[in-house]
Amino acid sequence: MTTRHHSLAKNKIKFLMLEGIHAQGLDEIRRSGYQWIVTEAQAPPPEQLAEMIEDVHFLGIRSRTQLSAELLDRARKLTAIGCFCIGTDQVDLTEARRRGIPVFNAPYANTRSVAELVLAEIILLMRGIPARNAGAHRGQWLKSARGSHEVRGKTLGILGYGHIGSQLGILAEGLGMRVIYFDITAKLPLGNAEPRTSMEQVLEQADVVSIHVPDTARTRNMIDEQALARMQPGAHLINAARGRIVDIPALAAALRDGRLAGAAIDVFPAEPKGGDEVFESELRGMDNVLLTPHIGGSTQEAQQNIALDVAVKLVRYSDNGSTMGAVNFPEVSLPDHASARRIMHIHRNEPGVLQAVNGVISGASINIAAQYLQTLPDVGYVVMDLETDDAPALVRELDRIPATIRTRFLY
């Protein structure tokens, strides 16, 4: 693997922003002094992209651009990748790291959007609106108070009290709900929320259960027949987390039997890849179930937040070397480099590299004002603030260290 480095003035740094990234992100980059921004509304096919990224320093993509090792090899100047979305599966993260390229995303920019949708679903479910709405569309007039409840004073059970779960809890308390939750790690309760020591307790005590855990080996089919059987008769279930957490046939059975009064499901074990594929689910046609096409986090505001969040992370990495929030890279949070020269050295994490780096610097009789190091098993990232007037000479020396992947210094 050849060494790559760049130490450029801002007007020489090229951003390629694909897939119609929100204007707010582009504005943020421009405001930070970078004017060379090329935008593209679509995800170009791989052959075209391979040509487009040859001279690009920062690449912004969304979920449709696949970045393989072969493509990364063509991007010889690529310094960082911004995934302007939540997931990063579309990028070969390990291969990017091995080439010294951190990848950033915006994992929590749509927290509020999900929490608001779930809040609305709680009210709609507890009033029996899905079935009454379906009936009205067919000409039925289901005017009765049967099974219709205010949410005030009812108990909301939250499974997974992370970003979304805890925000939902606060919003639900605003409506007068009682909030209980279970999380596998100890979480500080917000407002008047009360932790429970097991998922079972939450299932047994809640009028409505909302799931906000990640997709892990432990959460897969976590809500199965036994779990559903623990829920109160007439309770409601909401899943806007991940599709494999709920056993859908078991849920369909509980709804059919009338043990559960209703459900709102946004995510499914198998989801259509695009608008032309048919959505198949055992829950289709059930009047008491709200079905939404994985749009819990899909709002204009979330798109803006994502754009801003990722743009800031790219700019911060370019301006100061900070890798906080990178999904594939040693995370280093850095103060501004006031007077000293900042040199960033990305290397294969082999014995003796740091010694070699320090050897180069002490060999040049340069004083190290500050040094920050983080490593992952395969890659290390060291940032140094040095009192030197000749950073380019030092970069050339550092590039000679065999384990060097990339060296960069800041203007």
Q: Which residues are catalytically annotated?
A: 242, 271, 294
DSSP class of 12: G
How do strand 37-39 and strand 58-61 relate by DSSP bridges?
unpaired
Q: Is 97 in the site for ligand NAI (CB under 6 A)?
A: no
Alpha carbon of residue 269 to chain centroid:
19
Cα dihedral 270→271→273→279 (10° resolution): 110
Taking the CA atoms of 246, 248, 253 and 254 in sequence, report the sign of the dihedral they define. Answer: positive
Alpha carbon of residue 335 to chain centroid:
25
Output 127 or 187, the one with its CB closest to ligand NAI.
187
Residue selected from 83, 223, 241, 306 as contacting ligand NAI according to rule CB under 6 A: 241
Ranges assigned E (strand) in 32-130: 37-39, 58-61, 80-83, 103-104
Output 209 or 356, the one with its CB closest to ligand NAI.
209
Helix ranges, 234-283 (H): 248-256
Q: Is 110 in the site for ligand NAI (CB under 6 A)?
A: yes
Q: Is 1 in the site for ligand NAI (CB under 6 A)?
A: no
Residue selected from 62, 242, 406, 408 as contacting ligand NAI according to rule CB under 6 A: 242
**Phi and psi for 258 in degrees, rounded to 5?**
80, 10
Residue nearest to ligand NAI (CB): 162
Residue selected from 63, 108, 320, 376 as contacting ligand NAI according to rule CB under 6 A: 108
Are the C-beta atoms of 75 and 103 separated by less than 8 Å? no
Q: Is 401 in the site for ligand NAI (CB under 6 A)?
A: no
Taking the complex as a whole, the smallest distance from the CB of residue 187 to ligand NAI amounts, in Å, to 6
Tokens of 166: 């805890």
Q: Determine the Cα angle at 81 with ends 75 and 87, to 5°.
A: 130
Output 79 or 219, the one with its CB closest to ligand NAI.
219
Q: Is 28 helix (H, G, I), strand (E, B) or coil?
A: helix
Output 78 or 237, the one with its CB closest to ligand NAI.
237
Element (H, E) at 382: strand 379-387
Which listed range, 10-18, 209-217, 309-317, 365-373, lies at the site for ligand NAI (CB under 6 A)?
209-217
Output 197 or 339, the one with its CB closest to ligand NAI.
197
Residue selected from 164, 209, 235, 346 as contacting ligand NAI according to rule CB under 6 A: 164
Output 158 or 383, the one with its CB closest to ligand NAI.
158
Residue 370 backbone zone (phi > 0: left; psi -120 to 50: alpha; other: beta): beta
Q: Is 160 in the site for ligand NAI (CB under 6 A)?
A: yes
Residue selected from 60, 128, 262, 297 as contacting ligand NAI according to rule CB under 6 A: 297
Residues 265-294 that bind ligand NAI (CB under 6 A): 266-267, 294
Residues that bind ligand NAI (CB under 6 A): 86, 108, 110-111, 114, 159-165, 182-185, 187, 212-216, 218-219, 240-242, 266-267, 294, 296-297
